[in-house]
Structure 1
């Protein structure tokens, strides 16, 4: 059984990106995310709210039901007393863009069954994959989804997750043609999501989800001006249970 952070939690921290090929481009910025139990989603409107429709599955069902449907379709049925924790962006002032959502699925005794990795791109598409991390929180996934217009849909993601009372971290590294070409990291320290902590996080990073949207586009334009080749996007058909 592993020790987990108290939820719901605000996770203030930093996101960093490092593009290594064919051009070097790096940035780092302050942000925060939410760590929640999907059966007990908090509401701190207008600063934070959650909608089932922002994530995988049927928007008319609960998020817990949708995660269970997805894991069962991929060979890992959840028991009724299993627990699902989600690291994600909340809606802020009515808007959300959530590049990556991570769902950790635990047994009632605290053993990790699996994780679900849900990725969203700026074209309104989503994709999810199931993984079983090793004892160090590491796993690999094939790249199956168009995210950046400057990378083809091939290669491998090597992922490392940490979910601890004093630290939450997600590290994703993309390898293509035996070359590590890109890495993205989020790391922060979880804090109980009381009213004061929510307001403090929102004041330190105002309009947080708008910031994510703007930074992605700003850096994309910068790479386009540097004449980085754009990869044509094809219509994405999400896996079963994602919609």
Structure 2
């Protein structure tokens, strides 16, 4: 099984209150071993021809853009009391495609030197260029929770608590994040998919990558415009940037 793997995915969002609204979109996601990503953002176990469609830059994620992506994640874990030295870190994310990237969520499965699960990091990006990473320790059913810290939707304030179900992908991906917000019905986001294994399927998926990256970004904004007719906008607070020591 290849370390860097392409997944064909479907993401769905559903809210039940104060209005019922749901949508889904298809996309492509990569499962990447951060030790395979060099300083230029290339996964070394992928063929060079795919590099324009699959670049993974540290600047697109948490931390210092001039450091290696893995070093930033290890530093963030260390700030939270977790040592990832010699441990594998897998990231499920979108790649930078022909200079464009849209990464609403990146999930990291972090292991210690004995290959035991150490933590999961959920890095959330909003459409205002802000991001926040939630480090959680999952239970034996891959579940965890965290207080919401980042303004994501203009129709929800920065309150509530996330419930996460984030098992590490095998040949299938099945992640769910649910926001519980007071007495309101939950907002549920699911991320489903399967690993692409054949050469032919990889080639077909690679040709989908440029279009899907732009379409996902446009669709999320379009759904926001549709909701704007029915829901009041919530003020956006100043987000405190997470600094690494």
Q: TM-score, normalised by structure 2?
A: 0.90
What do residues 154-199 of structure 1 show as CA deviations (whole Å, max 9, x unaligned)? 010000012242212220000011444200011111235x864443
Of 30, 41, 45, 2:26 maps to 30
CA 1:239 to 1:205, structure 2 compared with 1: closer, same or farther past 3 Å?
closer
Of 117, 123, 129, 2:122 maps to 117
**Paired residue total:** 235
What do residues 102-141 of structure 1 show as CA deviations (whole Å, max 9, x unaligned)? 1111123321000111110000011112100111110001
CA 1:47 to 1:199, structure 2 compared with 1: closer, same or farther past 3 Å?
farther
- Distance in 2, matches of 1:164 and 1:223, equals 32
Greater Cα offset, 210-219 or 194-203: 194-203
1:76 is the counterpart of 2:52: no
Gaps of 5+ in 2: 38-42
- Distance in 2, matches of 1:159 and 1:145, equals 16
Q: Which has the higher contact order (CA 8 A, sep 6+)?
A: 1
**SS across alignment from 2:53:** coil
1:211 is the counterpart of 2:215: yes
- Distance in 2, matches of 1:122 and 1:164, equals 26
Q: TM-score, normalised by structure 1?
A: 0.90
1:224 is the counterpart of 2:224: no
Of 179, 182, 192, 1:177 maps to 182
Gaps of 5+ in 1: none
1:236 is matched with 239
What do residues 16-72 of structure 1 show as CA deviations (whole Å, max 9, x unaligned)? 110111111011222110000011132623222111100011111111110111011
Once the 2 structures are TM-superposed, how far is the Cα of residue 225 of structure 1 from its aligned partner? 2.1
What do residues 198-220 of structure 1 show as CA deviations (whole Å, max 9, x unaligned)? 43113446522212210110000
- Distance in 2, matches of 1:196 and 1:52, equals 30
1:135 is the counterpart of 2:140: yes
Of 6, 9, 14, 2:5 maps to 9
